[in-house]
Chains A and B, each alone.
Chain A
Amino acid sequence: MANFRSAPPIDMTPMVDLAFLLVTFFMLTATAIPDEPVAVDTPSSVSIIQIPETDVITITIDPKKRVFFNVDGQFTRAALLDKISERYGIAFTEKEKRSFVLMSSVGVPIGSLKQFLGLDPEKRKALEQPGIPVDSLNNELADWVLQARLSNPKVRIAIKGDSDADYKTVKKVVNTLMDRKVNRFNLITNMEKGPDAAAALANQQKELGHQ
């Protein structure tokens, strides 16, 4: 009776089953956190609207007054780069196109985009990007937005600003959008908790009821 003193056998199969089920679930639903060139701390709001997961242009504004542009979707990005290359007369190699499709936000002037895309991914990450020009004389952001909307007509625009970004830069970005007749856009914010949020939620639901 060797089993007499030892613990009774535990069948671990259900646990393993569950573990693999969860692994599969997370693998299929996971979208990895994108590798952004700047960390942005968004302000919080009581708004409960979710931004769509696909077809979004994200314009990031950081505290150093830099503006970054991002659009999701590999096909959209490929089409966008083709349009940019046509408009500015810059020919990109296949490798550069590939790295543009796979990366996230860009924050370099179009003039130095080719050189930027030619860098190794490691070096590119280390590089301090100067931001996309949004001045009224040289407004490349307007072109990016226009060409992205031509590449994918369904895209929506979201502005992701840092809490400490200055209003001047935000105003430039908003004016750029308004000049292109984009009057409706989203501001990405964090969820706010507390009594304010509860009150606002009740308000929003009441308004929805009225409509």
Chain B
Amino acid sequence: MAELGGGGGGGKKKGGKVRVKKSSTRIDMTPMVDLAFLLLTFFVMTTTLNKPQAMQVTMPDKPKDGDEQPEVNEKNVLTLVLGENDKIYWYMGITDPKVEVADFSATGIRKVLLEKKAELPKLIVLIKSMDEARYKNMVDILDEMNISSVQRFALVDITPVDKELVKESQL
């Protein structure tokens, strides 16, 4: 009952004259309250409170013919190759690189990135992804760039040379 322990209607007064029994002006609010809470529960449950986060990605314009490409010292280039089973193959430079493997944990690729960043202020990271990699890997690596605040990185198509390097490394 919405009105707990109420007077329970206009009862007879003790020893008074017998009067016409007045009907109660109290309304039982229980069903209304039930309904209110039912609706409340429904809306609380169906509302999407946690809105998804988003990560902004800005890709470069596709180079047109005749566009001048800036030249980069290969010593500053770190190439990451995202492979299957959440592996990251990485190597520095382009000529005769030494391929190593890392994972997505805090001691994995992040350590590499932070070390290289401290060593080379002009570090450029090229992210290449094999077709077997998962979408999660791509998001995670972009996240790592964000965490280790590497400013210059690019998502690049993988080349047969990279695939060959990864295969040869047998990691």
Interface positions of A (Cβ within 8 A of B) = 2-3, 6-12, 15-16, 19-20, 22-23, 26-27, 29-33, 42-43, 45-51, 53, 61, 158, 160-168, 170-171, 174, 177-179, 181, 183-192, 196, 199-200, 203-204, 207
Contact = CB atoms under 8 A, between A and B. Distances in A.
A151 to B, nearest CB: 22
B135 A45 contact: no
Nearest to A47: B55
A182 to B, nearest CB: 9
A190 B4 contact: no
Q: How large is the interface on B (under 10, 10 to 19, 20 to 34, 35 or more residues)?
A: 35 or more
B54 A187 contact: yes
B147 A19 contact: no
B135 A162 contact: yes
| Interface of A: prevailing SS | mixed
A183 B63 CA distance: 12
A114 B64 CA distance: 39
B77 interface: no
B147 A187 contact: no
Contact of A170 (B11, B132, B138): B138
Contacts of A3: 5, 7
Contacts of A203: 146-147, 149
A53 B53 CA distance: 11
A104 B110 CA distance: 39
24 contacts: A3-B7, A11-B3, A20-B36, A26-B47, A31-B48, A33-B48, A42-B52, A43-B136, A49-B54, A50-B53, A51-B53, A166-B132, A167-B129, A170-B138, A171-B129, A186-B57, A187-B54, A188-B52, A192-B143, A200-B143, A200-B146, A203-B147, A203-B149, A204-B146
A16 B131 contact: no
| Interface of B: prevailing SS | mixed
B5 to A, nearest CB: 4
Nearest to B139: A43
A23 B36 contact: yes
Contacts of B130: 167
B84 to A, nearest CB: 10
B142 interface: yes
